[in-house]
Structure 1
Amino acid sequence: MVLCCFPRSCPFCQVSVDNGFRIVHEDDHLIAFHDRSPGAKVHLLIIPRAHITTVKALDNSHVPLLEKMMDLGRKLLSDQGFKPDDDTQARFGFHVPPFNSINHLHMHVQGLPYKNTLRKWKYTRGCPWYAEASHVLERLRQGLEAL
């Protein structure tokens, strides 16, 4: 696990209803909340409580964490009527540094459609700025670097 030098300055380490976050799930390991600038019909972020800087900091020891994040994302989308295993209805992924906005690992969970073409472009598969969660998980399971 990679820890931040100043976790108190990390906005995701301070996630709470009091800080304006619209939380939809909390447990001992994960927090899920609505994205403040949603790109899709439903747009949630799932973060680990432990401060892990970015997707590039992940290794094979994080496989169980990513599996839990993806399971939670599937459940949350399913609860809202989406088919989370259908590419036309759901997407899960991470922005890749330096294209990420906050240095605290956060997975985008999106119930489609996207709000507009610009938003869709921001989450395009195969681009250097965005990594699909399933691709990252598969690489980690193989003992490879996340990206």
Structure 2
Amino acid sequence: MSDCIFCKIIQGDIPCNKVYEDEHVLAFHDIAPKADTHILVIPKQHIVNLSATTEDEWPIVTKVLQSINKVAAQENLEGFRVISNNGEKGGQEVFHMHWHVLAGSKLTGF
């Protein structure tokens, strides 16, 4: 999608502080962190969110989720929280599926 900020990051049009990349997934530091460590993990394929995922896109979603463990291990995260907001009423601001990986000082609440 030409107006999607995450698609522009994937294409290299917007720089990011990358921590992980493979054929299907990109992970990078959030520019407005909400924790000591705040990494976004996104599919390279434009998928709006979990609610909009089609049957043929689920293998990509699985690869994204598997990569979260790789990122956590690579970044030596002892514990972490994973969040994905779905839809405007669910707090989603960028309509390209993404997972927030938060870690650092003991996380409280949810």
Question: Does TM, normalized by the shorter one, top 0.5?
Answer: yes
Q: Percent identity over the alignment?
A: 27
Distance between the aligned counterparts of 2:106 and 2:31, measured in 1? 15
**Off by >6 Å, runs of 4+ in structure 1:** none
Secondary structure, counterpart of 1:45 in structure 2: strand
Summarize the alignment of residues 58-77 of structure 1 with structure 2, pairs less than 5 Å apart.
Answer: 58-77=53-72
The reply on whether 1:45 has 2:40 as its aligned counterpart is yes
Which of the residues 94, 99, 113 maps onto 2:84?
Answer: 94
* Aligned-residue offset at 1:34: 0.6
Closer/same/farther in 2, CA of residues 56 and 113 from structure 1, 3 Å limit: farther
Matched pairs, number = 107
Closer/same/farther in 2, CA of residues 114 and 66 from structure 1, 3 Å limit: farther
Distance between the aligned counterparts of 1:90 and 1:29, measured in 2? 22
**CA displacement, residues 91-138 of structure 1 (integer Å, 9 cap, x when unaligned):** 1120121111111111111224368xxxx66xx2xxxxxxxxxxxxxx
Which of the residues 68, 75, 89 maps onto 1:80?
Answer: 75
CA contact (8 A) 2:43 2:61 kept: no
* Aligned-residue offset at 1:59: 4.3
Structure 1 residue runs without a partner (length 5+): 1-6, 84-88, 125-147
In structure 2, give the amino acid aligned to 1:40: A
Over the residues paired in the alignment, what is the CA RMSD in angstroms?
Answer: 2.2
Structure 2 residue runs without a partner (length 5+): none
Relative contact order (C-alpha < 8 Å, sep 6+): which is higher? 2
Paired residue for 2:31? 36
Paired residue for 2:3? 9
- Please tell me whether Structure 1 or Structure 2 has the larger radius of gyration of its CA atoms: 1
Closer/same/farther in 2, CA of residues 51 and 114 from structure 1, 3 Å limit: farther
Q: Calculate the TM-score normalised by the size of structure 2.
A: 0.80
Secondary structure, counterpart of 2:92 in structure 1: coil
